[in-house]
Structure 1
Amino acid sequence: METLPRETIVDVLEGRLREEILAGRHAAGSYLPPERELADGYGVTRTTLKHAFGRLVQAGLLETRHGVGTRVRDFARLGGADLLPMLVRHSPDWLGEIFEVRRSVGALIAERAAMRATAGQRAELRTLLDAVREADSADAVQLADVEVHRALARATGNRVYALLTNTLFNAYLPVRKQLAGPFQDAEAAHARLEPVVDAVEVGDAPAARSAADAYLSATEEIMLDGLRTAGDAK
């Protein structure tokens, strides 16, 4: 059983300001109203407002200039991939674009892994693949599946691929319960992923790329169908 989060007034204010910025109510490049005016408008103290601002500065949504004011950062132009988890929470529309990158990068990673994986890395992939079939819940299957992809990225020998893989997973793992469709059946999940590991294991780069593309396309379709169904049910 998960402990329920306890929101503070700073949490609530941060969330409201974040949603207003992402929804475009405060335009990129514009300055927010003076602190006193904002604090009065939200019914909070200026100290609370400053704490919320500090978090949003760290998140890359605001920038504060001493003596000038607090400006909305043009995150679409200047932001990095670390913003993706926040953007997905704001709007599921981002998932389609994330999945497009997941598909193209994932296929390339599988190809490179087939070319470069060591014997130890191939053995690790097989062990991690077995864990997918042995997982006892959809959530556990999904997390086991993730570890296979992290291992594929490591097997390329390119640390940037590993970081890109982590970034993509970090973007949608917070909403993974809504994307559990491909992982309801552990045997089926294992069967979809096995051709990728098989191709990497024998060093067949074209087959690994093709298998990864097929796997990523199939799971993407199932996940997006699940999201559409959930949206229609609301």
Structure 2
Amino acid sequence: MEALPRETIVDVLEARLRDDILGGRHPAGSYLPPERRLADGYGVTRTTLKHAFGRLVQAGLLETRHGVGTKVRDYARVGGADLLPMLVRHDARWVREIFEVRRAVGALIAERAATRATRAQHAELRALLDSVREAASPDEVQLADVEVHRALARATGNRVYVLLTNTLFNAYLPVRAALRGPFTDPEAAHRRLAPVVAAVTSGDRAEAHAAADAYLGETERIMREGLA
């Protein structure tokens, strides 16, 4: 058994600041109040505030300039996809937009993989597909399914597709437990995914695109039901 993580005061403050920024209490482009006043307002020490600031600077929501202050960044203009997990935690409606990108990118990845995958990658895809059927729990099925998609991205030979795949899966993490619907039955999960692997390993790019689009559309439908 794994110990449950314990929230620290920095974790709580980070979440409060994040929600206040994304909710518009601290608008993009504005400077936060002086540290002492802000710390008093949240009921924390300035040291705790600085730790939370550091995390949000690293996440891309804040920028601190010595002698000037801490400014809220316009994440919609200058932010990257690495912000998606944070945005999903703030507003689950982001998941709908992630689904749209997931389907478009996933179908394109399968198409590219069909023309570029090596024999060794074909063997890896088949082995990973078998792992989906052999998984012992919905959580394990879900993770095994993820590994198939990571392997498809690697098979394109394009590292950007790999990073995009990682980013989209990372974005699911805050709500992953609600997205287990397609993975409750290992045999059904395997059956849905098998046509994608078959098309890719046969080198049929058109069929790979169509199979991936159908797979992603069906699993999205089931996931949406879980979110509802």
Scaled to the shorter chain, the TM-score interval is over 0.9
Question: Is the counterpart of residue 98 in structure 1 residue 98 in structure 2?
Answer: yes
**Matching residue of 1:36:** 36
**1:60, distance to aligned residue in structure 2 (A):** 0.6
Q: What RMSD, in angstroms, separates the aligned Cα atoms of the two structures? A: 0.9
**Matching residue of 1:202:** 202
Q: Following the alignment from structure 2 to structure 1, what is the Cα–Cα distance between the partners of residues 210 and 77?
A: 33
Q: Following the alignment from structure 1 to structure 2, what is the Cα–Cα distance between the partners of residues 11 and 77?
A: 26
**Matching residue of 1:66:** 66
Which consecutive aligned stretches of 4+ in structure 1 deviate over 4 angstroms post-superposition?
none
**Matching residue of 1:159:** 159
The one-letter code sitting in structure 2 at the alignment partner of 1:73 is: R
**Matching residue of 2:8:** 8
**1:2, distance to aligned residue in structure 2 (A):** 2.9
Aligned to 1:5, what secondary structure does the other structure show?
Answer: coil
Which structure 2 residues correspond to residues 1-234 of structure 1 after superposition, within 5 A? 1-228=1-228
**1:55, distance to aligned residue in structure 2 (A):** 1.1
**1:12, distance to aligned residue in structure 2 (A):** 1.4
Q: Following the alignment from structure 1 to structure 2, what is the Cα–Cα distance between the partners of residues 174 and 142?
A: 15
Q: Following the alignment from structure 1 to structure 2, what is the Cα–Cα distance between the partners of residues 55 and 31?
A: 17
Cα deviation 1:149-176 (Å, max 9, x = unaligned) = 0000011111111111111011103421
Cα deviation 1:106-142 (Å, max 9, x = unaligned) = 0000000000110010011000000000001100000
**1:90, distance to aligned residue in structure 2 (A):** 1.1
Q: Following the alignment from structure 1 to structure 2, what is the Cα–Cα distance between the partners of residues 76 and 2?
A: 37
Taking structure 1 as the reference length, the TM-score comes to: 0.95
Aligned to 2:173, what secondary structure does the other structure show?
Answer: helix
User: Structure 1 unaligned runs (5+)?
Assistant: 229-234
Taking structure 2 as the reference length, the TM-score comes to: 0.98
Q: Following the alignment from structure 2 to structure 1, what is the Cα–Cα distance between the partners of residues 8 and 193?
A: 43
Q: Following the alignment from structure 2 to structure 1, what is the Cα–Cα distance between the partners of residues 51 and 116?
A: 47
**Matching residue of 1:231:** none
Aligned to 2:63, what secondary structure does the other structure show?
Answer: strand
Aligned to 1:71, what secondary structure does the other structure show?
Answer: strand
The one-letter code sitting in structure 1 at the alignment partner of 2:95 is: L
Q: Following the alignment from structure 1 to structure 2, what is the Cα–Cα distance between the partners of residues 195 and 99?
A: 20
Q: Following the alignment from structure 1 to structure 2, what is the Cα–Cα distance between the partners of residues 48 and 201?
A: 53
Q: Following the alignment from structure 1 to structure 2, what is the Cα–Cα distance between the partners of residues 43 and 109?
A: 49
Aligned to 1:188, what secondary structure does the other structure show?
Answer: helix
Cα deviation 1:20-68 (Å, max 9, x = unaligned) = 1111111000111111111111121212111111111111111111111
Q: Following the alignment from structure 2 to structure 1, what is the Cα–Cα distance between the partners of residues 114 and 148?
A: 14
Aligned to 2:197, what secondary structure does the other structure show?
Answer: helix
Q: Following the alignment from structure 1 to structure 2, what is the Cα–Cα distance between the partners of residues 207 and 87?
A: 34
Aligned to 2:26, what secondary structure does the other structure show?
Answer: coil
Aligned to 1:70, what secondary structure does the other structure show?
Answer: strand
Cα deviation 1:154-208 (Å, max 9, x = unaligned) = 1111111111111101110342111000000000000000000011111000000
Aligned to 2:203, what secondary structure does the other structure show?
Answer: coil
Aligned to 2:71, what secondary structure does the other structure show?
Answer: strand
- How many residues are matched? 228
User: Structure 2 unaligned runs (5+)?
Assistant: none
Q: Following the alignment from structure 1 to structure 2, what is the Cα–Cα distance between the partners of residues 4 and 119?
A: 42
